[in-house]
A and B are shown apart, each in its own frame.
Chain A
């Protein structure tokens, strides 16, 4: 964080001005209830808008189109949140997981091939979880058999992936598959880049609790992946995944916390100030006011926690469970806060049938937001798993036998 304060203030003013000129007016209303194609088109257009300003991939190295310091990124995300700009939802895996994987473990050739593609709008999906490998990801069963016959060198992949968010729109997939069935489970996995147009692939959407279908199943039937698409050494895929999964946690959590602290809190306060049919405002009830102020406080705490995480990432002093602390706190705060919003909004919340696409996790359609909040407490290692990580790696408590 060595950027002089004056420069940060200048950047803040620049981003603020840019937002005033470029954030589409009324995008929330326009994006409410849209179909998949419209959502994709809007996301792609917004991504290119951000790209032109240099705001799409600020965390990438300068040579690839990024180059902002952590302090500068913090300012950028604070201002985008304050202006209630649309979020980059579709490109999330591409610009974070995929890019981190390529930059950390990819070859020059892989980087040259894929990073510009991502900037041009290539969509990536993560193919990690399986029906029998959720929290216990390392027990995954999808196989990758290396085949050098007929002068080729390919991995032949068979199996099934689950919870692949956005797979229906994806061009490429980050795939974990078992390449050495005889090795211990964390030593026999390879990390592959899979073209989603490959023959043998079948993508089937799964309808989630909200009725959306962004999660997908991917069935792999003798899918051939060229060996040049292997990331890192063969059978070291677990280690590659460990190194790249945590790469993005700090700044993306900070962005989410800023969203919660801006439009999220504002919507919650508005909900509590809206008179009911008798003309009474919920906020005038002492209990409601008390809980509302509690959420204001907790959001402030979350934002401080995320700033601290980013600063420690930057300083290289991040602890082994710091990201888990933030994940547990954010997800459960989101759940409690949206649940409170739904409670205060009452029957009206039941009559809101769609929420704006491209918004954060707190759109102000409280019941939908509340139901959607389980998308934070379950994936990415359930909060039960996170608490075990916090206990063992953060506090040094003894492992289970």
Chain B
């Protein structure tokens, strides 16, 4: 591991990407592409080393290592000691974590934690937390709706997990969120709640505070950590209720889209890893006097894996661009916030990427197990780790069916609009 090269990978020259929120990132921007390619190479290297060192059932990545690599503050603005880049760079790290099936508190802390904080109105508390985040001080977790119910309806009562009653010193928080990424290890919690006016807000809380309980939820995918967060009339500390910039509902929806995109990126990396492992194995494993990869049945199975991974990559890239553009616009927009059409564009792109890629990754990992034969079914081969990881990613932040239901509603509405 080389800390210097890692930092280089995320260093942004003054006036570089991120300094101009609102411009369209991604598409064809050579400098950004280069930055991401370098980040990818460093991440792959670093995660491979970390996985090799551990050698156990899960590739545990140290918290310190994430901080040292500069991955925690990727999206934190330059002025707050971060790298000031976009979600497109975060997406690269997510993909590489998936490729390594690494156990790292990245989703809860950085993807969602930093994402939530950046979507909030500027306050001293929020800035302080962002600055600390870049240096790796607090571990964050963000409690969002993680199941299927909220899709297309974030910010609508009944789907946001927490409710705020009263205000000021009398404010009390009640609600429950399940399968919250990295909740059990979190030192600070950011809870999505509705205030008394029905407006989505983020409430800062601390595990162990009165009325608040955090419980780890053991899951089959041991490369992930999830937990339940329950609040029963928990007193809210002064200055801990934070509002989204502009329209709170839009902010909440973009945050949910961010979670769904992050697991889609993870699934893309995991699927590519399984394809590579299968091609490698099929090239060396001999039966009937020749490598099994020379048999059409095996070869065509691998070809199908490549096709679906290629399609998934296209969808994930599109969704990443859409979210990066919208997030920049949201961060820059102030009270004006972001246009509804832009939020819908993000949701459509993310639902496509999430539903396709997360389902494809389960299929690809399953096919990998099949094409590895008996060895693939052993614990030792590790294929099961990817299958379980892909299964968790598929279920988190909306099932493929839930995302497709939302897409179908949109198709119906668009057609009705055309007809008018």
Contacts and interface: CB of A to CB of B under 8 A. Distances in A.
A84 to B, nearest CB: 13
B292 to A, nearest CB: 9
Interface in B372-420: 401, 403-409, 411-412, 414-415, 418
Given A293-B405, A397-B299, A298 B293 contact: no
A391 B38 CA distance: 28
A297 interface: yes
B364 to A, nearest CB: 13
Interface string A333-367: 00000000000000000000000000000000000
A247 interface: no
Interface in B275-308: 275, 279, 282-283, 290-291, 293-296, 298-300, 302-304, 306-307
B315 A325 contact: no
A395 B290 contact: no
A117 B351 CA distance: 49
A202 interface: no
Interface stretch (A17-25, A92-100, A169-177, A301-309): A301-309
- Most B Cβ at <10 Å: residue of A286, A386, A390: A390
A290 interface: yes
B310 A325 contact: yes
Contacts, number: 133
B282 A296 contact: no
Interface string A293-322: 110111011111101100100000000010
Given A395-B303, A399-B294, A297 B405 contact: no
A301 B353 CA distance: 8
Interface residues on A, range: 35 or more
- Most A Cβ at <10 Å: residue of B293, B295, B302, B314: B314
Contacts of A269: 411-412, 414-415
B279 A397 contact: yes
Given A305-B314, A400-B296, A296 B307 contact: no
Contact of B290 (A294, A303, A394, A401): A401
Given A293-B411, A301-B356, A398-B290, A388 B312 contact: no
A388 B300 CA distance: 6
B314 A308 contact: yes
B327 interface: no
B417 to A, nearest CB: 11
A289 interface: yes
Nearest to A301: B311
B303 A283 contact: no
B296 A388 contact: yes
B182 to A, nearest CB: 29
A273 B357 CA distance: 27
A397 B304 CA distance: 13
A198 B274 CA distance: 56
Contacts of B401: 290
B355 interface: yes
Contacts of A283: 408, 411-412
Nearest to A401: B290
Contacts of A219: none
Contacts of B300: 384, 387-388, 391
Nearest to A2: B28
B146 interface: no
A112 interface: no
Contacts of A305: 310-311, 314
B68 interface: no
Contacts of B349: 300
Contacts of A325: 306-307, 310
B404 A294 contact: yes
Given A394-B306, A397-B294, A399-B294, 13 more contacts: A266-B415, A283-B412, A293-B351, A293-B411, A294-B404, A297-B404, A297-B407, A300-B314, A305-B314, A387-B299, A395-B303, A397-B283, A397-B293
Interface of B: 28, 275, 279, 282-283, 290-291, 293-296, 298-300, 302-304, 306-307, 310-312, 314-315, 317-318, 349, 351-352, 355-356, 401, 403-409, 411-412, 414-415, 418
16 contacts: A269-B415, A293-B404, A293-B405, A293-B406, A293-B411, A294-B404, A297-B315, A297-B407, A300-B314, A311-B28, A325-B310, A328-B307, A387-B299, A390-B306, A395-B279, A397-B291
Interface of A: 1, 266, 269-270, 273, 283, 286, 289-290, 292-294, 296-298, 300-305, 307-308, 311, 321, 325, 328-329, 384, 386-388, 390-392, 394-401
* For the complex of A and B, 7 pairs with smallest distance between CB atoms: A304-B314, A391-B299, A289-B408, A293-B404, A293-B407, A390-B303, A301-B311
